[in-house]
């Protein structure tokens, strides 16, 4: 069924108070699709009605998928028993996620009515630093003693499994409560049920420290193709686990953050349409001001070469093309570095290999672009799209006609582009690796700096090449 038809059916069921139909919709369609429709319901009493008549296992998932604005509206409209119903089927890490977006008064209300065990878990999770393994882990997992038999383990999974975030991977500890292995569900099902867990457990398992950055955790999941991983505290005891769906959220969040940084916009915590206009203004304006201040160096260079520009006005005609081409080249390299570093395809020690590779790429790209630019500049000047005549530059000696002047100008533009493109790619590599070594996000540090440095260096190369040629070869 299409979303539009589902929308009509759900609205009709709500208006007619058809409880059986509403529950049937939740049993038939993905909760995320229903959440999109519920988010658009104007009357909050209709939403509250859904939460009161639908099974708690569905409403817990629905609440998680709603926008933060709708979640806040609901908590304000809920009775305490409604909150308890939602919490009863929710996992502590999910509750922690939406509590982190809510005002303090609503957080206090939820914690007040939450079951004691969940309240302790939530407080535990809220105390970890943002964007660390501890902040995204869940405390609902299955942990068994190594001497437990497979038969006993399966029986306990049937009993307690619904309270755990995953039953596919279980974790094994020894008598000292140290994590000693993991067992996947298929290993339990296809082995002799009289065997103890220690005989079938996987001893080559991965763990992470509770304070490890979430992006590094995501890299480990990708590297080892994991579905779940244990999180250890400072005493090397298991305090939680991270599952693949937690990592999907991390990847989405990190990708959104990188896109924001590349676009020179501060991170936006809420969906675009829910973000107030002034908040968007405050996210964008500071970056524009900072980058404008950085561009003062380009203005200083233009000012210092003002006399040359006055003598040869044609200088200013091709400078935008050079700056754009060089800036785009540096941006391409920075984007590649951000992607490759983010996916762990390259490491700190690879900087020489990467620099050499980008030097060769830059040289080839620079040659292609400079040849094209030479031809394009010649076309513009010879057809009159750009005015460039020998009589306008009486100071030029040794140049007898317009064609020779056009060849000189186009040649100098091509040479400048070749050098600038190679240099911009090396800037992209160097700054990205420096940011990585300093444990800074290359998207934050490298992207704006590359743009500024490429502009400055391109102008210096451009005017330097002109002065070298005209002063030392033509004697001006």
Residues contacting 88, CB < 8 A, separation 6+:
56, 60, 115
Does residue 344 or residue 453 have the better pLDDT?
453
State pTM to two decimals.
0.55
Under 8 Å between Cβ of 48 and 78: yes
Asked if the model's pLDDT at residue 375 lies above 90, the reply is yes
Helix-helix angle 104-113:68-77, to 10 degrees: 60
Angle at 138 between CA 135 and CA 140, to 5 degrees: 160
Of the candidates 35, 109, 111, the one whose C-alpha atom is nearest the C-alpha of residue 68 is 35
**What pLDDT is stored for residue 248 in this prediction?**
84
**Nearest one of 124, 120, 54 to 89, comparing CA atoms:** 54
The mean per-residue pLDDT over the stretch 19-44 comes to: 89
* Nearest by Cα to 387 from 371, 399, 405: 405
Residue 443 pLDDT level (bands cut at 50, 70, 90): low
The string of DSSP letters for 378-398 reads HHHHHHTSS---GGG-TT--S
Token output for 187: 């290993």
| pLDDT reported for residue 198 | 93
pLDDT tens column, 266-299: 565 666 666 777 776 776 677 677 767 767 777 7
Highest mean pLDDT among 12-26, 93-107, 389-403: 12-26
Query: Considering the chain, what is the average pLDDT of its residues?
Result: 82
* Residue among 89, 45, 40, 43 at smallest CA distance from 63: 89
Instruction: Give the Cα separation of 298 and 285 in Å (integer).
Output: 21
Query: From the CB of residue 450, how many other CB atoms can be counted at a distance below 10 Å?
Result: 26
pLDDT at 3: 62
pLDDT at position 170 is: 93
In DSSP notation, 297-361 reads: HHHHHHHHTHHHHHH-THHHHHHHHHHHHHHHHHHHHHHHHHHHHHTTSS-GGGHHHHHHHHHHH
Better-predicted residue by pLDDT, 311 or 196: 196
* Beta pairing class for 238-243 and 228-232: antiparallel
For residue 59, name the pLDDT band (cuts at 50, 70, 90).
confident
Q: Is 202 helix (H, G, I), strand (E, B) or coil?
A: strand
Least confident segment among 186-200, 331-345, 411-425: 331-345
CA angle 46, 50, 53 (to 5 degrees): 130
**Which pLDDT belongs to residue 188?**
92
**Between 92-99 and 104-113, two packed helices, what is the crossing angle to 10 degrees?**
160
Model confidence at 159: pLDDT above 90 = no
Strand, helix or coil for residue 218: helix
Q: What is the pLDDT of residues 174-202, one digit of tens each?
A: 988 889 999 999 999 999 999 999 999 99
**Confidence bin at 223 (pLDDT 50/70/90):** confident
Q: Which of 71, 111, 78, 108 is nearest to 92 (CA)?
A: 111
Measured CA distances, 260 to 58, 77, 276 (Å): 34, 34, 17
pLDDT band at residue 447 under the 50/70/90 scheme: low
Terminal Cα distance for the chain, rounded: 77
Percent of the chain whose pLDDT exceeds 70: 85
Mean pLDDT of 343-356: 84
Going by pLDDT thresholds of 50, 70 and 90, the confidence category of residue 88 is confident
Which of 63-72, 105-114, 334-343 is modeled with the greatest confidence? 63-72
What are the chain's domains? 3-127 (1.25.60.10), 143-249 (3.10.580.10), 284-472 (1.10.357.20)
pLDDT at position 245 over 90: no
Evaluate if residue 41 carries a pLDDT over 80. yes
Nearest residue to 170 via CA among 241, 101, 119: 241
């Amino acid at each position: 069924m299409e979303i539009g038809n589902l929308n009509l059916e759900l609205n009709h069921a709500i208006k007619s108070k058809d409880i059986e139909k509403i529950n049937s919709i939740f049993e038939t369609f993905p909760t995320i699709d229903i959440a999109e429709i519920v988010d658009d319901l104007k009357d909050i009493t209709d939403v509250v009605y859904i939460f009161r008549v639908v099974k708690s296992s569905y409403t817990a998932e629905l609440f998680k998928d709603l926008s933060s604005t709708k979640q806040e509206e609901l908590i304000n409209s809920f009775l305490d028993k409604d909150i308890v119903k939602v919490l009863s089927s929710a996992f502590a890490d999910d509750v922690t996620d939406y509590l982190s977006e809510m005002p303090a008064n609503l957080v206090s209300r939820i914690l007040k009515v939450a079951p004691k065990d969940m309240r302790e878990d939530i407080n535990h999770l809220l105390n970890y630093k943002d964007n660390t393994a501890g902040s995204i882990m869940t405390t609902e997992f299955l942990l068994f003693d190594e001497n437990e038999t497979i038969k006993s383990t399966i029986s306990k999974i049937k009993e307690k499994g619904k309270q755990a975030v995953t039953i596919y991977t279980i974790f094994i500890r020894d008598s000292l409560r140290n994590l000693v292995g993991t067992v996947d569900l298929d290993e339990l099902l296809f082995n002799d049920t009289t065997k103890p867990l220690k005989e079938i457990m996987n001893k080559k398992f991965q763990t992470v420290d509770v304070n490890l950055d979430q992006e590094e955790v995501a890299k480990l999941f990708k590297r080892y193709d994991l579905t779940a991983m244990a999180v250890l505290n400072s005493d090397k005891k298991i305090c939680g686990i991270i599952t693949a769906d937690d990592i999907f959220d991390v990847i989405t969040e990190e990708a959104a953050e990188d896109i924001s940084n590349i676009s020179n916009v501060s991170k936006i915590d809420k969906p675009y349409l829910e973000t107030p206009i002034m908040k968007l203004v405050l996210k964008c304006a500071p970056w524009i001001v900072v980058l404008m201040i950085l561009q003062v160096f380009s203005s200083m260079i233009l000012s210092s070469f003002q006399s040359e520009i006055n003598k040869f006005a044609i200088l200013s005609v091709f400078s935008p093309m050079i700056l754009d081409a060089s800036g785009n080249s540096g941006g391409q390299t920075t984007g590649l570095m951000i992607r490759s570093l983010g996916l762990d395809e390259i490491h700190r020690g690879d900087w020489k290999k990467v620099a050499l590779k980008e030097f060769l790429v830059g040289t080839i790209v620079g040659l292609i672009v400079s040849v094209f630019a030479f031809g394009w500049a010649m076309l513009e000047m010879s057809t009159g799209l750009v005015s460039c005549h020998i009589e306008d530059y009486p100071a030029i000696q040794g140049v007898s006609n317009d064609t020779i002047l056009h060849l000189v100008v186009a040649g100098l533009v091509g040479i400048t582009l070749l050098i600038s493109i190679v240099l911009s790619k090396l800037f992209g590599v160097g700054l990205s690796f420096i940011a990585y070594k300093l444990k800074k996000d290359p998207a934050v540090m490298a992207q704006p700096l590359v743009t500024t440095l490429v502009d400055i260096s391109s102008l210096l190369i451009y005017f330097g090449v002109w002065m070298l040629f005209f002063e030392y070869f033509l004697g001006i």
